Amino acid sequence: MQQWNGRLLMKGVFDHVFSPHKATTLAYIDTRFYAMDVRTYRRHFLCAHEAIRAQNGYGLEESFRDVFLNEQLQGCLMSPPPVISGVGGGTGAYYKNTPLRQFKEKWRYQLVKRDSLFRSLFA
């Protein structure tokens, strides 16, 4: 992993990147793949699972996002994002990652990285 900074790398998922009417937001952290050292995990993410409220649609992904934003972690989002496909361990859902989807995801990341509000979040 060329981007490895020694402490944390994650994949952020952004909403409204292509919308002319809505502001771009960090929707969640993709928890299917991330890398972090033990110290960072213990300091920031050890109790993230305790905030899960599945009945309200608030899962680990949203909890990681909130920790990421509240702790103002920077220089940790992977770019380009990793290509993840296959069957999810938690849900059993199959993740199909077509070439079109990969292209859109890379383009979305390029646009977000150029936005001054988000630039510092990327490795």
Per-residue pLDDT tens digits for 53-64:
989 999 999 999
pLDDT at 113: 95
Residue 35 domain flag: yes
**pLDDT greater than 90 at residue 89:** no
- pLDDT bin (cut points 50, 70, 90) of residue 111 is very high
Residue 25 domain flag: yes
pLDDT at 7: 93
Q: Residues 14-20: what's their mean pLDDT?
A: 95
Domain that holds residue 43: 8-121
SS (H, E, C) the chain: CCCCCCCEEEEEEEECCCCCCCCCEEEEEEEEEEEECHHHHHHHHCCHHHHCEHHHCECHHHHHHHHHHHCCCCCCECCCCCCCCEECCCCCCEECCCHHHHHHHHHHHHHHHHCCCCHHHEC
Domain count, the chain: 1
Residue 1 domain flag: no
pTM: 0.87
